Amino acid sequence: MHRLRVQGLVRTADRVRRELAILLSHGRKETLARMVSEAICQVDRLVADHQTTVRALPSPSRRAYEFLRGLDFRQIESTAVESEGARLRESVSFGGLAAQWERILNALADPNAPSRADRQHGSIANSSRNIERQIEAAGLRVCELTPRTRLARGWLAYFSQRENFDAYLAAVACARPIFEGLLQAHARFKPPVILHFRPLRALYQVRGYRDGSRVVLPTPMIALAAEMFEAVAGMAFNNVRARQEIIEATLSDDCQEIQAEVDALGGVEEQVVGISHDLAASFERMNRRYFDNALARPRLTWSRMFTGRKFGHYDRVRGVVMISSTLDRPEVPDYVVDSVMHHELLHQQLGVGWSNGRMLAHTAAFRKAERQFERYAEAEAFLKRLAGVP
């Protein structure tokens, strides 16, 4: 089944969900209702024109559509007074960060990178910690950082986690020979290939230099298999028409969840109140019931993405618990949100374990503690149904 793309649908759903979590003016409520109606009509027309169903939408878009479709604006309260929120300009950046990030990317593109993996991983982790220290020392809020600074911050934080770093090196080792193989007979571009996985709106970017070629791929593509790198390389160098196939691969849950986590690590403002559930209330219930009120409250927020399989994330670096917006719906029971909150708080309490030099987040002790949640089996069954797992 070919996937249908609806530009901006996920972004619209996130914007609507966040605005509905606060008390709106009557006028703004009507504006959002029109926006939702137009988005739903756009999807319905697209589906009808292609004689298919909403199942043809990529999973993030499908979940965003289902969220918008399920809204009942008649049940949403509003006020006659428009609230005015202070807005801070996105203006703060850090000198030298862009050049440092570029050096790290080039080092990881080196064929000898695996032999220097520990040192390179340490460099990424140090860079991430330095950014956090600067943000804390200056008392900065996320909304004050420039978009590029947030991109770098998220990328460095994501790959400071060793399992993600190892996945990056594995993706480079898989993709580089594929791209270099197609360059052998190319007149414009020449090997060697300098391969970067970094934030990119396009499907790929290629630049030729006197002594080689640089190929840039979007960060989530580290999740792709060799055949998809062959498709990207064929499209970039041999004009092979594989755009639809590549787009569908990048819209997979694996790629989307990487993007969601990198975005989250770039910085989130705490947002505890959702449309249907309150994360602060969930934290209080779990802290009281399972942790003897001993945990300091982390920053709590809903995700911007409507994820399909990963419903929570704990950011060890910044002390943030993020819960998927997919769960902020009236048909999702409180105990399901609580089960995900309990899982993420266990990460906060237990930290990580190690085995043969590898960091382990879900140790045997973690799994045992996780099953102490009173409705564990029931919550797991609900989340599996929500994720479409048989």
- pLDDT, one tens digit per residue, over 54-87 is 888 888 888 889 889 988 888 887 776 554 443 3
Structure confidence at residue 176 (pLDDT): 95
What's the rounded Cα separation, in Å, for the pair 360 and 244? 37
Asked if the structure places residue 262 within a domain, the reply is no
Asked if the structure places residue 2 within a domain, the reply is no
Asked if the structure places residue 55 within a domain, the reply is yes
Q: Are residues 111 and 236 in the same domain?
A: yes
Cβ 303 vs Cβ 45: under 8 Å: no
Among 22, 48, 79, the domain-final residue is 79
Q: Would you say residue 290 has pLDDT above 70?
A: yes
Structure confidence at residue 178 (pLDDT): 94
Q: What is the mean pLDDT of residues 21-40?
A: 87
Look over the chain and give the mean of its residue pLDDT values, rounded to a whole number. Answer: 86
Among 254, 282, 307, the domain-final residue is 254
Structure confidence at residue 84 (pLDDT): 44
Q: Are residues 128 and 249 in the same domain?
A: yes
Q: Would you say residue 372 has pLDDT above 70?
A: yes
Among 232, 254, 276, the domain-final residue is 254
Q: Are residues 65 and 205 in the same domain?
A: no
The tens digit of pLDDT for each residue in 149-162 reads 989 999 999 999 99
Q: Are residues 157 and 238 in the same domain?
A: yes
Structure confidence at residue 86 (pLDDT): 35
Q: Are residues 299 and 275 in the same domain?
A: yes
Determine the structural domain holding residue 13 and report its residue range: 9-79
Q: Would you say residue 323 has pLDDT above 70?
A: yes
Asked if the structure places residue 23 within a domain, the reply is yes
Cβ 274 vs Cβ 300: under 8 Å: no
Q: Are residues 291 and 320 in the same domain?
A: yes
Q: Are residues 249 and 302 in the same domain?
A: no
Asked if the structure places residue 92 within a domain, the reply is no
Q: Would you say residue 302 has pLDDT above 80?
A: yes
Q: Which of 38-52, 236-250, 349-363 has the highest average model confidence (pLDDT)? A: 38-52
Asked if the structure places residue 84 within a domain, the reply is no
The tens digit of pLDDT for each residue in 122-151 reads 999 999 999 999 988 888 877 788 888 989
What's the rounded Cα separation, in Å, for the pair 219 and 234? 19
Q: Are residues 178 and 74 in the same domain?
A: no
Structure confidence at residue 115 (pLDDT): 93
The tens digit of pLDDT for each residue in 341-361 reads 999 999 988 876 666 655 567
Cβ 305 vs Cβ 266: under 8 Å: no
Q: Are residues 239 and 275 in the same domain?
A: no
Question: Total domain count for the chain?
Answer: 3
What's the rounded Cα separation, in Å, for the pair 171 and 343? 29
Asked if the structure places residue 86 within a domain, the reply is no
Q: Are residues 237 and 273 in the same domain?
A: no
Structure confidence at residue 230 (pLDDT): 94
The tens digit of pLDDT for each residue in 246-261 reads 888 887 878 878 887 8
Residue reference for tokens 């956090």: 132
Angle at CA of residue 319, ends 104 and 279, nearest 5°: 130
Structure confidence at residue 355 (pLDDT): 60
Asked if the structure places residue 144 within a domain, the reply is yes
Q: Are residues 241 and 275 in the same domain?
A: no
Q: Would you say residue 23 has pLDDT above 80?
A: no
pTM to 2 decimals?
0.59
pLDDT: which is higher, 137 or 319? 137
Instruction: Report the relative pairing of strands 78-79 and 24-25 from DSSP bridges.
Output: parallel
Q: Are residues 181 and 120 in the same domain?
A: yes
Q: Which of 98-107, 163-172, 180-189, 280-289 has the lowest mean pLDDT?
A: 180-189
